[in-house]
Amino acid sequence: MIAVAIDGPAGAGKSTIAKKASEELGFIYVDTGALYRAVALACIDGNISIDDTPAVEKLLPGLDIRIIFFNGEQHILLNDNDVSERIREENVSMAASRVSAIPSVRGYLLDLQRDFAKRDNVIMDGRDIGTVVLPNAQVKIFLTASPEVRARRRVLQLEEKGMEADFDKILFDIVQRDYNDTNRKTAPLKPAENAVTVDTTVLTLDEVIEKIVSIIKEQTA
């Protein structure tokens, strides 16, 4: 089995790039952020404060979080409901970043993530895939870009969907999430020792995909 780990900060384009690269290579793409988002959504729906760690921990055993692939797309099921759309809402992003700092939440999701890599060739994206989840991954990539460029891309994405976007607020949230994800005690965001860092600030999407696919091919040849 081949495992490719793509880690990096929020909005660096990991999911778009990992999805395209996995289509090209015939690998399964696993977006691990969706799992943290599902836990966050369960807290929001259950009126549980994310600061209340014991309450969040009490919720975990009752959760049924599954990833299924439907027409080649990843869908996330929370207690049998398809929450793939709801987990993308902005309040869920910040809640996911906060809930992901709780060590028992990370432990709860660990085996779920590792199981994917046992069954298929995978490209998995997240924050700690190369460092913690799949430390033996054959390829490790750290994808990054400046906060301003990441915020600008997010604005464009929202505008394309006909949604309103406030650049300053989005930039503020990105910087805040970077801080949370990098400074937490358990499995903080950082490049794995042997990761290749790809800075996409001045690259187009096609250039990044080409680069990533060629790194993967080179390192798994």
The CB-of-184 to ligand DC minimum distance in angstroms stands at: 8
- Write the binding mask 132 to 171 for ligand DC: x where contact by CB under 6 A, - elsewhere: ----------------------------------------
Q: How many residues bind ligand DC (CB under 6 A)?
A: 14
- Write the binding mask 13 to 32 for ligand DC: x where contact by CB under 6 A, - elsewhere: -------------------x
**Angle formed by the axes of helices 14-25 and 205-220, nearest 10°:** 50
> What DSSP element (H or E) covers 125?
strand 122-126
Which residue in the set 76, 181, 192, 211 belongs to the binding site for ligand DC (CB under 6 A)?
181
Task: Tell me: does residue 178 bind ligand DC (CB under 6 A).
Answer: no
Mark out the alpha helices in the chain (DSSP H runs): 14-25, 33-45, 53-59, 90-99, 103-119, 147-160, 167-183, 205-220
Task: Tell me: does residue 33 bind ligand DC (CB under 6 A).
Answer: yes
Which residue in the set 100, 131, 144, 200 belongs to the binding site for ligand DC (CB under 6 A)?
100
CB 48 within 8 A of CB 56: yes
Provide CB contacts within 8 A for 45, sequence distance 6+.
Answer: none
Judged by CB, which is closer to ligand DC: 153, or 177?
177
CB 27 within 8 A of CB 122: yes
Task: Tell me: does residue 127 bind ligand DC (CB under 6 A).
Answer: yes
Judged by CB, which is closer to ligand DC: 32, or 144?
32
Q: Rounded to whole angstroms, how far apart are CA atoms 88 and 100?
A: 16
Task: Tell me: does residue 78 bind ligand DC (CB under 6 A).
Answer: no
The CB-of-221 to ligand DC minimum distance in angstroms stands at: 27
Phi, psi of 92 (to 5 degrees): -75, -35
Provide CB contacts within 8 A for 54, sequence distance 6+.
Answer: none
Give residues in contact with ligand DC (CB under 6 A). 10, 32-33, 36-37, 96-97, 100, 126-129, 177, 181
